[in-house]
Amino acid sequence: MNRYQQALDLDAQDPLKHLQSRFFFGCDAPIYLDGNSLGMLPRDTVSHLQQVITRQWGERLIRSWNEGWYELSARLGSLLAPLIGAGEDEVIFSDSTTVNLYKLAFGALQIRPGRKKIVTDDLNFPTDIYILEGLARQMGREYRVELAGSRDGMTMDEQTLDSLIDTDTALVLLSHTAFKSGFLYDMESVTELARRKGALVLWDLSHSAGALPVRLNDAGADLAAGCSYKYLNGGPGAPAFLYVSSALQQQLPSPIWGWFSEADPFGFSLSYRPAAGIRKFLTGTPPVLSLSAVEPALKLLHEAGMDAIRTKSLKQTQFLLDTADELLVRLGCTVGTPREAHRRGSHISLRHPEAYRICRALINPAGDRQAVIPDFRESDTIRFGIAPLYTRFSDVCRAMERTAEIISTEEFARHSLDRDGVT
Ligand SMILES: Cc1ncc(COP(=O)(O)O)c(C=O)c1O
């Protein structure tokens, strides 16, 4: 049986296949393999937002604050919580991932006084490292950030981390799934090794939430944050979420004393008292429209179930790897993602010296070929995101075949090496 036929059979047997039609596909829809950057638009979001705009904003106006808006950040946090293995009072939507990382990292340093080291790794997303560098500078000259170095640019072994974390370490900040290689940390064992030295761990879940079952409570996790515009399908710039374990909520301070984190915002007291619980990590008025867009998407993930999503994701990433091995390795591509299932998230990176122009050719095909949308990460990586709510095996197969065609015919050479603003 050829690969495409195999893909069609796998699509026909897929228990989640009915969910694809719950997403918006325009005319000339591309094969979309970039849900790891910006998730697709759920159809329910269109009608829900229309209702939020016309009914809640248009008709109910300011009364809507007491009819759901004021509680929305916490209510959506409770809806997300089971998808990431947290208690419903441990998660809240607020700000951006970058700001949330800052708030939680600051809090962690405050409750580990005397410890001056922050550990992260060189697989991490740059914003995470910038936030730590900036925070260390603000905290004083003795504070420093140390980067665990990956040996292969793709994975991190725990011994390297272990040797860097010591009794001077206050905080370890890691991306649970690495943005470029898709390497997946063992949350429980890293949390445990940090705890043995008395350090806290802050997890960036941006590439994990909605992509695989995260088990924050089972892993004994302290802190986490992540975005909702990737696998949570909340839309461009959708508000981020943060998690603080119930054990830490009381002690952990927030650096931003905004009125939404005050115990009684509408008491308008001139002296600040932090709210009890997870609300303490809010700042100011939430962006209600974009926050509202997250709800239908979270409900879709509940409908599918995170275990079913992971089962399909692993099958699809394996199918992609097998197809790439068959078609692309002989054309100079190498796999930039760990092959062990328990070590990878839901995107696969393929590396090639012409990755940028291959990516351009996939997105902007000549003639009437269907566009394929992955994304490019410097210097030589094409990321193919698998979002099991809407990705089909046949999409994966077509994307690999098209990549092979672009490389073997050198079609990429028609494209410029000049980088777009967003790659
Ligand atoms: C792993 C990771 N962390 C943090 C961010 C930054 O998030 P934001 O720009 O929403 O603050 C991103 C953005 O893509 C990311 O992939």
Domain membership flag for residue 41: no
Find the mean pLDDT for residues 47-65: 98
Domain membership flag for residue 422: no
Q: Ligand 1 centre and the CA of 54: distance in Å? A: 31
Instruction: Establish whether the linkage from the previous residue to 408 is cis, with ω within 30° of 0.
Output: no
Q: Is the CB of 125 under 6 A from ligand 1?
A: yes
Q: Is the CB of 227 under 6 A from ligand 1?
A: yes
pLDDT value at residue 174:
98
Residues designated as active site: 125, 204, 229-230, 383
pLDDT value at residue 421:
87
Q: Ligand 1 centre and the CA of 201: distance in Å? A: 18
Q: Which tens digits make up the pLDDT trace of 211-257? A: 999 999 999 999 999 999 999 999 999 999 999 999 999 999 999 99
Both 295 and 311 in one domain: the answer is no
Count Cα atoms within 13 angstroms, Cβ side, for 235: 21
Q: Ligand 1 centre and the CA of 98: distance in Å? A: 7
Total-model pTM: 0.98
pLDDT value at residue 423:
82
Both 332 and 359 in one domain: the answer is yes
Q: 196: domain range?
A: 46-302
Domain membership flag for residue 279: yes
**Total domain count, the chain:** 2
Q: Ligand 1 centre and the CA of 213: distance in Å? A: 19
Of the three residues 302, 324, 343, the one that is the final residue of a domain is 302
pLDDT value at residue 1:
72
pLDDT at residue 303 is higher than 80: yes
Q: Which tens digits make up the pLDDT trace of 333-383? A: 999 999 999 999 999 999 999 999 999 999 999 888 999 999 999 999 999
Both 219 and 87 in one domain: the answer is yes
CATH of the domain at 269: 3.40.640.10
Q: Is the CB of 204 under 6 A from ligand 1?
A: yes
Q: Which tens digits make up the pLDDT trace of 113-159? A: 999 999 999 999 999 999 999 999 999 999 999 999 999 999 999 99
Contact of 136 with 188, CB cutoff 8 Å: no
- Per DSSP bridges, beta strands 223-226 and 241-244 are antiparallel
Find the mean pLDDT for residues 72-97: 98
Find the mean pLDDT for residues 12-38: 96
Q: Is the CB of 249 under 6 A from ligand 1?
A: no
Both 270 and 168 in one domain: the answer is yes
Mutate to test the pocket of ligand 1, among 206, 230, 231, 349 (most ligand atoms within 8 A of CB): 206
pLDDT value at residue 418:
86
Q: Is the CB of 129 under 6 A from ligand 1?
A: no
Both 310 and 256 in one domain: the answer is no
pLDDT at residue 282 is higher than 80: yes
Of the candidates 78, 79, 86, which has an alpha carbon nearest to the alpha carbon of residue 218? 86
